[in-house]
Amino acid sequence: MDRTAFDDDRLSDGYAEQDEERWVAEPPKRAGRTAFARDRARVLHSAALRRLAAKTQVLAAGESDFLRTRLTHSLECAQVGRELGAALGCDPDLVEVACLSHDLGHPPFGHNGEDALDQASQAIGGFEGNAQSLRILTRLEAKSFGHDGGPRAGEPVGLNLTRAALDAATKYPWPRQDGRRKFGVYTDDLDVFAWLRDGAPGQRQCFEAQVMDWADDVAYSVHDVEDAVVARHLDIRALPGAGAAEDPEGLIAVARGYAPDADDAELGAAVERLTALPFWPTSYDGTLRDLAALKNMTSQLIGRFCAAAERATRAEHGDGRLTRYAADLVVPREQRLEVAILKAVANRWVMQREGADDVYTRQREIVLELVSALRLRAPENLDPAFRGSFESAPDDAARLRVVVDQVASLTDRSIVAWHHDLCT
């Protein structure tokens, strides 16, 4: 039989052999797909991606049949990122892998659960959803094991994605540092991190990661506003005028947190630009016509933000293929501030809505109490996938990290059930 039938396809245009290397070498595969297409399939079929269906985006998973979860957000981010990346010369499968992977590490209860797990794990370097995503991709998701004499011999190596895919999925390419809440790798995952960043210039994101990052910002800022309107937390009529000098709705004050380098006048102008757009809805009462108008707004805004980035990037870097470290994504300041306003809208009318503080407090209590209970009762109360790691852990710090891995893997519904069984 012709062995070439079992070789991977040729290199994707614009990429080098090093980009398609895997941490643990694999036997040749039947020809027909690129290495990045295989990466995409591995993430799509992963348990970690499926679990996102029951994890909070902004509004609680299950609160409504309409509202987004982490899974639907990841799929929408992937669609936005794939098209923008392809327009700029990236391998579309590679950008889609990054977008599908970027939220795999988010725990139950969204960023609120993330904060609680960070508090519970301060003694071992803390918790960060992006660092947890890398841990899932390279350690926790069941797919591949290290070979004798190679990296992590006999131990799991996650999905064993290509170097370029892991790099593209790394939004924050640095370990935890003083003054930076966001980071992309825990201390005990530095071995694979060093491998995937081989040749990378300092702490710079690769181009595909920059596309993923902007696609993420665009998707969730636009869609969170849509969800807030449909859930009746936000009256769309409140926004025109919210950017006025007196800031009657408190929107500008919240937006400063997303754009600390902008003054109130700039942010107010961003509100005025958005609400003056011809497709901006003037009301919402749940009719099919209003739903269509709201959906048109989301489509038009996504197109606005992506087209602006594409034009500005092409103006800076020309018409060639833009991949890896050959360029940086250029996003005009006006569009960055408009996205900051949309993020602030969800924060102001959803996260700060009446009664939300009580919900968030209870969620943090559930996370912290479950971590404490599992530390006392492990390994017998851990899932089998985590039990062996706990039993082989060399010290208390490593055992705590396994407990945190277990809790982070749970969905909004399952963490409540586990807490009920173990803590009440």
Do the beta carbons of residue 251 and residue 344 sit within 8 Å? yes
Q: What was the pLDDT predicted at 57?
A: 60
Q: What was the pLDDT predicted at 403?
A: 98
Q: What was the pLDDT predicted at 60?
A: 54
Say yes or no to pLDDT of 8 above 90.
no
Confidence label for 29 from pLDDT (cuts 50, 70 and 90)? confident
Q: For the chain, how far is it from start to end, CA to CA, in angstroms?
A: 63
CA 351 to chain centre: 19
Say yes or no to pLDDT of 120 above 80.
yes
Q: What was the pLDDT predicted at 354?
A: 76
Say yes or no to pLDDT of 56 above 80.
no
Percent of residues, the chain, with pLDDT higher than 90: 77
Say yes or no to pLDDT of 1 above 50.
no
Of 225, 220, 217, 246, the closest CA to residue 345 belongs to: 225
Confidence label for 154 from pLDDT (cuts 50, 70 and 90)? confident
β-sheet bridge partners, residue 400: none
Mean pLDDT over 156-184 rounds to: 94
Confidence label for 66 from pLDDT (cuts 50, 70 and 90)? low
Give the residue carrying structure tokens 């980035």.
Answer: 309
Mean pLDDT over 184-200 rounds to: 96
Say yes or no to pLDDT of 64 above 80.
no
Q: How far apart are CA 250 and CA 244, in angstroms?
A: 10
Mean pLDDT over 54-61 rounds to: 65
More confident residue, 210 or 233: 210
Q: Backbone phi, then psi, for 65, in 5-degree steps?
A: -70, -20
Say yes or no to pLDDT of 347 above 50.
yes
Q: What was the pLDDT predicted at 363?
A: 94
User: Long-range contacts: 338-341, Cβ < 8 Å, 24+?
Assistant: 338/270, 338/273, 338/274, 338/305, 339/217, 339/218, 339/221, 339/305, 340/221, 340/255, 340/258, 340/259, 340/262, 340/267, 340/270, 341/243, 341/251, 341/255, 341/267, 341/270, 341/271, 341/274
Q: What was the pLDDT predicted at 234?
A: 87
Say yes or no to pLDDT of 188 above 70.
yes
Residue-level length of the chain: 424
The DSSP secondary-structure symbol of 424 reads -
The DSSP secondary-structure symbol of 10 reads P
Do the beta carbons of residue 126 and residue 408 sit within 8 Å? no
Domains of the chain: 22-196 (1.10.3210.10), 216-355 (no CATH), 372-423 (no CATH)
More confident residue, 6 or 138: 138
Q: What was the pLDDT predicted at 148?
A: 86
